[in-house]
Structure 1
């Protein structure tokens, strides 16, 4: 295969360029992006050098020697890839998957910026690692470069489709790049990320999926810690350290993504990423910090967790700042984003540790001042509420280490509650009075203890109280603990000693000299200490005001007096009679009566019913006349009378239907027997015989089966 001399004289893009090829004496043109131009080179994958994360020191040994060998070949592969011609570079990336896998291996195994000190600590590792770091970034930059020169360039749409279709650049690759290159090469990485999203808008949907994955990762880390606490398991220090590194990595990715690609803030707002950050900050990072601190108070991973907190604060600031920028860009339509900004800050109040740290690093009052000037129609009540909730925190720098002090009351609200003291009177009363409410000695001790715990959270409350009792102020006590300059008795005491308040019974015994074992000793119900107590003291049976015995209860007629007034209301009834009302009602009833027209069928039915009623009345009168008095009802009617009445009713029914003929012994009502033979037959008998002959086949076997069944049921035929 011979490649003819090639120069892109027409300055065609890569997707339209054809390259001449002489293969076995046959000349033809092959597209510039083709498998013919790929290189079958086997690329080396990068592996991280051995080091300890807690000390950031490189481990010497055979593993380090192997790393030197593999990383040297990796750097040569990247430099060789950069030296390829334009069409060969793209053909190798597309048709040789080993090339892009080698690039991805470095982004996955390289140390992030917060562990880069491990590479710098070794003079032999740092130069080689820096070469690999630089070469990989150059390859990725060449991958997203549309035009290298006038004759080496590629169409924008084609490049975006090429990167997306062949997975040369993906959202996981960007997430791996951010912690590796984000801090040292922030400008280059910002340009790179923004260029990728401009080349292919489809990456926007993938980014949304990636942010959802970050949210689920926060929940997974939190669930791991909560599960250990619920099951009573004590997680190992190694596991806690791994969770701390994972937390810092996720926090760094989110913070750098917001900084390098500001357009993602709208997606974060849509996914409610702000609530995920604050919830993860209070419920996961603080607990993780305490668990690691309890096992190793000098652990390096505590610093990593503090770095993660700073990254989350920065990410939250960038997301909520999107609403402020919207307000400033379009003040005429700033009400909705301003309201969203205030709602987000309000929802974060359920996470006090985050609120305190956010206020210390990004004061909210400055944002509220901008909001007041840009949006005049914003709800002032919400703004005042947010300002009072955030700005009451102290202005100290640093993080709170997860311990929240009680919020001091506002000066104005406290003055009004105390009786409306004016500001001038507070100023005249002195600086101590004007600065806030006067604390009792016990409250002052609690405030000092809380200040010490903010700096030294691993100490117990009782131990801190002992230390404060030896020193004049909080600063001296903290300095003595940090310097190890404590008195011998405090140095040998238990630093985790809790504070157990004094028992009220012991105090009562000291004051009165009376020792009693009663649940009411010393409280508001103690009759031996207080002259006037709350509630009713019951002595004996019953309750105060109730009857003492049965006779007194029966003689009590108080309920009659109570009901007398109620029943008295029912006596107020008007007895006047209005005769005109009855006349008008009768006239109205007569006017509403209408004549009902009956049909012939209704009239016959009515006549029959009336005749039956008359016959029944006649029978009753006859019975009464025969007995000479009122007929008594029989307990059980005579069966003979019942059968006779049934037979008479049956005969009358047949007479009405057949003109008076009743067959003897029952049976059908039609006469087919007639007179004796030779005497002649009536017309009706002949008609009945004819009808019977025509319809006898309607029953199977001339009704013999039915007759046999009837006889068998009556016991005539043995079965």
Structure 2
């Protein structure tokens, strides 16, 4: 006979007061043990002995109670879980208050660290046991065997149930199990999100089995998740509202008079800016952890256009926060670096969230060939990226971490009917988003690692001027806190020397240059450098370096005074290159004991120039050649000389005399350099040249002959008319003599010309047209 499930099982127990045997369900409040579970509190930030002792005592109580709970049999365990409210409050307090990996790290004592690890393991095992309706006998066995190296678990989950000697006595009806989880709030969506971010690292497979089993046994969690997505989107809107920004399309209500004026991140107080950065980091990390553990939830997120809303939030928020952190006035430099690192961590997680959603909704179904209608998923992919192209910063960062061209190439291989115009448009839009930025292509091996690992790389934006350290998003997958190591390029000389000394104290054979290269590669994490050196797990770039490489001495940059250049460069007044100058030659305004008349009468400069120009007037006609020198001008033949035109007699046939060809122009002294006597002599010579030669006596034409004037005027008129093309008027020849006396030949000729050409004037060709009509028979003769 098969065993009954726990929800149908009846147990019989004897009443200690009456001694009677009572029968009641196995899941009953009366079977709950009286045990009070204390609430969890975070470890103290200050290493004060009293606070540390208080934390250890409280944590010890919680750890003992959880160990007692895990040792209970199946029925007693579920009675305690369902009906003990203090247990649920204890678990909720730990899930909500336990330190995340991106919280500020504190140098806690070893006892606190060990106790925190113990609580972490116990809480995870309790939730792990609560998430299955079938369990092995190992749960109530006194034997403890670790089987999972990363989390030191006691049990292995296999195909929705616990393997290794499954007992048919320990199970719950699946439908009843789902109702127990849902009605008693043993699991809800916020709690599942916290479980993913707390226990996701190293336990992804186990958490995936847990959440799949919970959603499978209780489908109502899907509807809860769908109602949670608008709340997550509202979180992003709240962050924008607190920063004085507003997403496009969001509803804007009028601001109330008594409401606090919202300022931009650059104008915020430091504490408020820090809270916003931490809140954003917590939100992004939690969402990424949940989607990484449970990828099927991506379908529900995308139903609410989560990607487009996330990209719009990224485009508005990230530049403002980056500017506020860079330009903010931080007294504590480590706080600025911690905020910058958390912002970089948030940016990377938003990129990975987007990639998980795109991969699950579009790419994964195509790769698995789960649906023959691949065109639907291809169309969804193209529609998503067409919408995201307007967010240039988001698409650029996404393309640097997960290249879009590779995804499009995958689609082209999977479907031959893909729209090439749309794909070309998307690729062109991605390339235009890179305008003005330096593109860093990831190597093929790194891209393969990104595709296989969810903790891939992301881009770090560059900017000019002093800024916080550009933490590479390709390092660790979680943000360590403010105590994380800084890059060597941001450390001072003393701090960097101290890190080099720490490495060389343990490994003295290494050169300082090689140690510096290792520190730069691993972000100045001394422990990681030493560990990789001892285990010989250095990166390929470091393995190629010489381990005895010395430290390179950086040359001091030249000073500004040594590199400047001005109008006084290297002259007698250059005070930067001369120790002393002649101050007597330097004055301000008018010289001492000097007036304008004395300055104008100073002709010393003219006298100096006169001697120079007088040397130009000395012309040597023949240069004496001494014996033994200058033979090249006399008899020697110069090979470079061109004698092509030596036989031509240039100017021999000209009418000019040879005096004009060989004579030189007399030298002329400039006007300003001439003496008074030379000026007067030149003036007299010019006057003599200007005097005209005496000619014969000219007639007095005061009154000219009028007839001569008329003839000249008529000649000028005829010349003007001839130039204009007018002919001589022959009207007198046309008139001729009286009738009966006969006409001259010129008259007859002129009359004939007039008759033939009279249509060119005012007659308008009437005569010729009349003759034409008569010839055609139109007019009777």
Scaled by the length of structure 1, what TM-score is found?
0.53
SS at match of 2:208: helix
Q: How does 1:224-623 map to 2 (within 5 A)?
A: 224-226=242-244, 230=263, 234-295=267-328, 296=330, 298-321=336-359, 322-328=361-367, 329-330=369-370, 332-391=372-431, 393=434, 394-396=439-441
Structure 1 unpaired stretches of 5+ = 1-8, 52-57, 404-449, 458-482, 491-719
Partner of 1:16, secondary structure, is: coil
CA contact (8 A) 2:288 2:350 kept: yes
How far 1:303 moved relative to its partner? Answer: 0.6
Q: Secondary structure at the match of 1:293?
A: helix
8 Å contact from structure 2 (residues 243, 264) kept in 1:
no
Counterpart CA distance in 2 for 1:27 and 1:400 is: 70
Residues 6 and 170, structure 2, Cα contact 8 Å, conserved in 1: yes
SS state at 2:102 partner: helix
Where does residue 131 of structure 1 map in the other structure?
Answer: 118
Residue pair 1:254, 1:315 contacting (<8 A) in 2 also: yes
Q: SS of the counterpart of 1:395?
A: coil
- CA distance in 2 between partners of 1:453 and 1:314 (Å): 29
Query: CA separation in 1, counterparts of 2:60 and 2:558?
Result: 59
1:98 to 77, 86, 90: 86
Residue aligning to 2:11:
19
Contact 1:156 1:199 in 2 (8 A): yes
Which residue is 1:526 aligned to? none
Q: Post-superposition shift, 1:13? A: 1.1
Residue in 2 that maps onto 1:89: 77
- Native 8 Å contact 1:368 1:383 kept in 2: yes
Distance 1:232 1:25 in 2: 72
Shift of 1:401: 5.5
In 1, Cα distance between equivalents of 2:326 and 2:54: 36
Instruction: Say whether residues 1:197 and 2:215 are aligned partners.
Output: yes
Number of aligned residue pairs: 405
Give the SS at the match of 1:112: coil
Query: Counterpart of 1:45?
Result: 39
What is the correspondence of 1:685-704 to structure 2 with a 5 Å cutoff?
Answer: none
> What is the rounded CA distance, in whole Å, between the counterparts of 1:93 and 1:373 in structure 2?
53
Structure 1 residue 317, shift from structure 2 partner: 0.3
Within 2, Cα distance between the matches of 1:484 and 1:64?
50
In structure 1, distance between residues paired with 2:216 and 2:222: 10
Structure 2 CA distance, aligned partners of 1:270 and 1:153?
36
Q: Distance in 1 between matches of 2:389 and 2:357?
A: 17
Helix, strand or coil at the partner of 1:30? strand
> Shift of the alpha carbon at 1:124?
2.2
| Deviation per residue, 1:231-281 (Å, 9 max, x gap) | 798212121111111111111121122211111111111011101221222
Deviation of 1:451 (Å): 6.6
1:8-45: CA deviation from partner (whole Å, max 9, x where unpaired): x9522101111111111321211100011011211111
Displacement of 1:76 in angstroms is 1.1
CA distance in 2: counterparts of 1:180 and 1:485, whole angstroms: 49
Name the CA distance, whole Å, in 1 between partners of 2:232 and 2:349. Answer: 14
1:35 lines up with 2:44 in the alignment: no
After superposition, give the CA deviation of every residue in 1:92-120 in whole Å (9 maximum; x if it has no partner).
1211111111111111111112338547x
Aligned equivalent of 2:53:
65
| Corresponding residue for residue 190 of structure 2 | 172
Q: Distance in 2 between matches of 1:43 and 1:455?
A: 45
Residue 64 of structure 1 deviates from its aligned partner by: 2.6
* Cα deviation, residue 63, structure 1: 2.6
Where 2:222 maps in the other structure, the secondary structure is helix
- CA distance, structure 2, for counterparts of residue 170 and residue 229 of structure 1: 34
RMSD: 2.8
Give the aligned partner of residue 142 of structure 1: 129
* CA shift in 2, pair 1:171/1:455, >3 Å: closer
CA contact (8 A) 1:35 1:91 kept: yes
Q: State the match for 1:109 in structure 2.
A: 97
Cα distance between partner residues in 2 of 1:484 and 1:315: 46
CA 100–331 in structure 1, closer or farther in 2 if over 3 Å, else same: closer
For 1:299 and 1:66, how far apart are their aligned partners in 2?
Answer: 32
1:320 CA drift (Å)? 0.9
CA distance in 2: counterparts of 1:108 and 1:73, whole angstroms? 19
Superposed displacement of residue 211, structure 1: 1.9
The aligned residue for residue 493 of structure 1 is none
